[in-house]
Amino acid sequence: MAEVIRLIRRIRSKRNTLHIQRTFRDRFNPMEMYSDDQLFERYRFRRSTIFFIVDLISHKLAHPTQRSHSLPPIIQVLIFLQFVASGAFHLLVAQSFSVSKATAGRCVHRVADSLCRLSTRFIAFPTGQRSLDVKRAFHAIAGFPKVLGCVDGTQIRIASPKVNEADFVNRKGFHSLNVQMVCDPKFLITNCVANWPGSCHDARIFKESKLCHNFENGLHDGFLLGDSGYPCRRYLMTPYHNTGDLRHKERYTYSLCRTRVLIEQTFGILKRRFPCLSTGLRTNPTRACTYVISCVILHNIGIVKQDIVINDVDELTVQGPDQQQQQLQGNDGFSITDHIA
């Protein structure tokens, strides 16, 4: 008897269930509707650069079937660009392209993962002839010799993680990732470490990084410039804590700070271009790390393709000697600092 009652209930539930017919929404292609300036305003890139990005990762995004009106790679890339350019919720991004919230989320994840696979191509520390060009460009700014990059960390706000939540609370009291970056004179980011929680100190992140190990092993001939939060090393120059009113120490500190400010400007350019990094990433640390690396890659692509135009960069890099060869006395950071000063 109980089995009969359950059967009757299943039949009634099927009768009362409304069948929602599947519908396919009309999708528009922003590339056909907007001008270059309108595309730049909405997606932070112009038409030619967007097509360049699509060509880079289209083989990773294309669906192997034409069933169910699958999203083409160009639409998936535009969904991701609108997400990082606005920091909006997936629901709002989805409504802009007449897709579901889940589809928008999958597009954001797939494009970010595809871009991260290109990190070694677009985030590369200068070597060979490029390192000589970087040294000349840095020397032209304030006369500081043999500089290969400026290093610093920035806090990227994230949602409260479920695991090791206390480790991600930074000194300002909110959850974040402490992201280390190194820039060159053209604001290109040449090194990025984004997998450390916000409570970690900049000096520890640098000490544990592969870049530090490369400098320790003598793979790079030059200096990094850091603020007073970093230890002074033979390859990492920091300002004097107390110049003692000595002119040569004051000139050294002024030259270092005037050159090192480029990394602060790079952070500003990156976060203004991709507001999701300044307003915060509402996701877990692993996914947030992927988004940060993706934004850094897009930032470098924008500079290379001249979608990001920084005034006066060319004027800063035309002067300076071809090489800055100096015989530095001593092998520790403080003796090299005194020699440069």
Provide the b/e sequence for 296-309 (b: ≥16 CB within 10 Å). Answer: bbbbbbbbeeebbe
> What does the pLDDT look like over 171-223, one tens digit per residue?
999 999 999 999 999 999 999 999 999 999 999 999 999 999 999 999 999 99
pLDDT confidence of residue 312: 46
Q: Is the pLDDT of residue 292 over 80?
A: yes
Average pLDDT, the chain: 86
**The pLDDT value given to residue 321:** 35
**Residue 18 in this model has a pLDDT that exceeds 80:** no
Confidence of residue 313 (pLDDT cuts 50, 70, 90): very low
Give yes or no for residue 291 having a pLDDT over 90.
Answer: yes
Q: What pLDDT score was predicted for residue 322?
A: 35
What's the confidence (pLDDT) of residue 4? Answer: 72
More confident call, 242 vs 98: 98
Percent of the chain predicted with pLDDT > 90: 66
Q: How far apart (Å, rounded) are the C-alpha atoms in residues 58 and 115?
A: 11
Whole-model pTM? 0.85
Per-residue confidence at 317, pLDDT binned at 50, 70, 90?
Answer: very low
Give the pLDDT band (50/70/90) at residue 316: very low
Burial category of 128 from C-beta neighbours within 10 Å (exposed 0-12, middle 13-18, buried 19 and up): exposed
Confidence of residue 23 (pLDDT cuts 50, 70, 90): low
Q: Assess contact for 108 and 83: CB atoms under 8 A.
A: yes
**Is the pLDDT score of 334 beyond 90?**
no
Q: What is the dihedral of CA 101, 106, 111, 112, to 10 degrees?
A: 90
Q: Where in the chain are the domains?
A: 27-116, 123-340
What are the tens digits of pLDDT across the range 81-113?
Answer: 999 999 899 999 999 888 889 999 999 999 999
Confidence (pLDDT) at 256: 92
For 201, the token pair is 């100190």
8 A C-beta contact, residue 144 and residue 262: no
pLDDT given at position 24: 54
